[in-house]
Amino acid sequence: MEDAIRLAAFDWLKEQILIYGDSLPRTLLEHGFQYHGESVTLIGAAGIWKPRQLEVVRISITTTVNGPYEDTFSEDGLLVYRYRGNNPSHRDNLGLAEAMRTRTPLIYFHGVVPGRYLPVWPIFILENHPQRLYCLAAVDPAFAFQSGPPDNTIKSTDTAGESSLSIRNYVMTYTKHRLHQSTFRERVIAAYNQRCALCNLRHRELLDAAHIIPDSDELGDPIVPNGLSLCKIHHAAFDQNILGVTPDYQIKTRKDILDEIDGPMLRYGLQALHDKTLYLPSKRKLWPDRERLEQRYQRFLHAG
């Protein structure tokens, strides 16, 4: 019964990501999903959450933005998740210990901006440190793509040799990258008030956070001043240097595109933006960094 509920939760999360994107609204997770006529909630007032349908082992752990606990990642890519309060024997903390003993998969909700969370699953508790009030968790590659319930007879990958460790490190590096990229996206879109900085489109499901300077470059930090909230068509046009932005926040359309004759998308979606001004965040400190814009604009000019 409980394994079936967890698998139903995983399937439901997959469906919601297709609808809402990588990060999900808290209200959705608080409402949960229907299972045999009952609502199974995935998140609640406590960061270590157990819906009433489960007996002992929790279903999720959560890190909130500006929350009371400083959850971090260790040098080897493990999630360092803090206990609830200072009592190791609190029922929620004991629930984490039981999750480790039974190797029960959990969901990790990482708060990217207030009210939105990136779900990561399955997370397994690998180590428990009650004296230090934390546990260590990781995405387990042995189960990450498994469709059936976990087989508790399989040994944990931390004892399965160097190859398994390198796989786990890869998975956790990928997971950390997803967390950082999702946080960047949500913060950029929130700064631009859920709209495209070029065309003012306000459908957040069609918005991306475009890097001004790619994250592989020295100035490519995942911070709002290095980002633009763009709809998908303008994100692609910006990445391909069809559209550029000057350090004075003027939009430029590449000359060969201006000279081209085509349908209304070209005319209104690209050509009409030429010499328009960006929509900017209300907070000046979140405006695009001029130095980064200048560097990116030079690439646009050379592309033309």
Which helix (H) or strand (E) segment is 233 a member of? helix 232-239
Dist CA 6 CA 59 (whole Å): 7
- Per cent of the chain over pLDDT 70 is 85
Q: If you ran DSSP here, which 8-state letter would residue 171 be given?
A: H
pLDDT in tens, 122-162: 889 989 999 999 999 887 655 444 434 444 333 344 444 55
Q: Which residues does 225 contact at the CB level (< 8 Å), separation at least 6?
A: 285, 286, 287, 288, 289, 292
DSSP bridge pairs for 129 = 134
Contact 297, 245 (CB under 8 A): yes
Q: Cα-flanking dihedrals φ and ψ of residue 58, to 5°?
A: -70, 165
- Give the C-alpha separation, 42 to 54, whole Å: 11
Cα–Cα dist 14/52, whole Å? 22
Gap between the Cα atoms of 97 and 125, Å rounded: 8
Per-residue pLDDT tens digits of the chain, which is 304 residues long: 889 999 999 999 999 998 888 889 999 999 999 999 999 999 999 999 999 999 989 999 999 887 666 667 777 677 889 999 999 999 999 999 999 999 999 999 998 888 999 998 988 998 999 999 999 988 765 544 443 444 433 334 444 455 555 655 666 666 667 777 888 898 999 999 999 999 999 998 899 999 999 988 888 888 999 999 999 999 999 999 999 999 999 999 999 999 998 888 899 999 999 999 999 999 999 999 999 999 999 999 998 6
pLDDT digits (tens, 9 = 90+) for 244-276: 999 999 999 999 999 998 888 899 999 999 999
- pLDDT for residue 170: 62
Nearest to 104 by CA among 116, 94, 115, 96: 96
